[in-house]
Structure 1
Amino acid sequence: MRKRLSSIRPNRRQVFTAGAAVAASTVAASTVPATAATPGGLYGSGTLGSWANGTRAISTETQTRRVVETNGVYMFGDSISVQDGKSLAIRLLNRDGSQMAVNNWASRPTSGAVDALQQWASTYGLPRRILMASGSNDIFDPPKFAAQVDRAISIVGQNRTLFWVDLQVVRTAQTAAVQLADQRNSSWLNMQLYDAQKKYPNLRIIRWAEWLWVKPYRLANYLRDGVHPSVPLGQDARNELIVQSLTQR
Structure 2
Amino acid sequence: MKPNRRHVLMAGAVATVAAVATGEASTAQTAAASDPYGSGALGDWTILSHAIATEATITSVRDNDGVYMFGDSIAVQDGKALASQLIARTGKTIAVHNWSGRPTAPAVDALQNWAVRYGMPRRILMATGTNDIFNPPVFAAQVDRTMRIVGSQRTVVWVNVQCARTAKSAAVQLADQRNSAWINSQLSDASKKYSNLKVVRWAESLAASPAHLTTYLREGVHTSVPAGQTARNDLILQALLSN
Cα deviation for residue 18 of structure 1 reads: 3.6
**Residue in structure 2 matched with residue 51 of structure 1 by the alignment:** 45
Which residue number corresponds to residue 67 of structure 2? 73
* SS of the residue 2:47 aligns to: coil
| Structure 1 residue runs without a partner (length 5+) | 1-10, 20-39
Q: Which residue of 1 aligns with 2:79?
A: 85
Q: Distance in 1 between matches of 2:112 and 2:208?
A: 35
Aligned to 1:244: 238
Instruction: Read off the aligned partner of 1:166 and give its amino acid letter.
Output: N
* Separation (CA, whole Å) in 2 of partners of 1:59 and 1:82: 12
Paired with 1:224 and 1:203, the residues of 2 have a C-alpha distance of 28
Native 8 Å contact 2:7 2:185 kept in 1: no
CA distance in 2, matches of 1:41, 1:79: 23
Confirm or deny: 8 A CA contact 1:14 1:210 kept in the other structure.
Answer: no
Identity of aligned residues (%): 58
1:41 Cα offset (Å): 2.4
Q: Is the aligned partner of 1:159 residue 2:153?
A: yes
In the TM superposition, structure 1's runs of 4+ consecutive aligned residues that sit over 6 Å from their partners are none
Aligned equivalents of 2:111, 2:173: Cα separation in 1: 31
1:1-249 equivalences under 5 Å are 15-16=10-11, 18=13, 40-248=34-242
* Structure 2: gaps spanning 5 or more residues: 1-5, 15-33
Question: Normalized against structure 1, the TM-score is what?
Answer: 0.85
Q: Distance in 1 between matches of 2:242 and 2:91?
A: 14
1:56 is aligned with what amino acid?
Answer: H
Q: Say which structure is richer in helix.
A: 2
Amino acid across the alignment from 2:209:
K
CA RMSD of aligned residues (A): 1.6
TM-score computed with the length of structure 2 as normaliser: 0.87
Secondary structure at 2:70 match in 1: strand
Distance in structure 2 (CA, Å) of the matches to 1:69 and 1:191: 34
Name the residue aligned to 1:5: none
Higher normalized contact order (CA 8 Å, seq sep 6+, divided by chain length): 2
The residue matched to 1:43 in structure 2 has which SS?
Answer: coil
Is the partner of 2:92 in helix, strand or coil?
coil
**How many pairs are equivalent?**
220
Equivalent residue letter for 1:213: A
Residue 220 of structure 1, CA deviation = 0.6
- Alignment partner of 2:223: what SS? coil
Amino acid at match of 2:214: A
- Aligned-partner Cα distance in 2 for 1:220–1:187: 19
Deviations 1:109-156 (A, max 9, x none): 000100000000001100000000000100000000000000000000
**Change over 3 Å in CA distance of 1:55–1:17 after alignment to 2:** closer
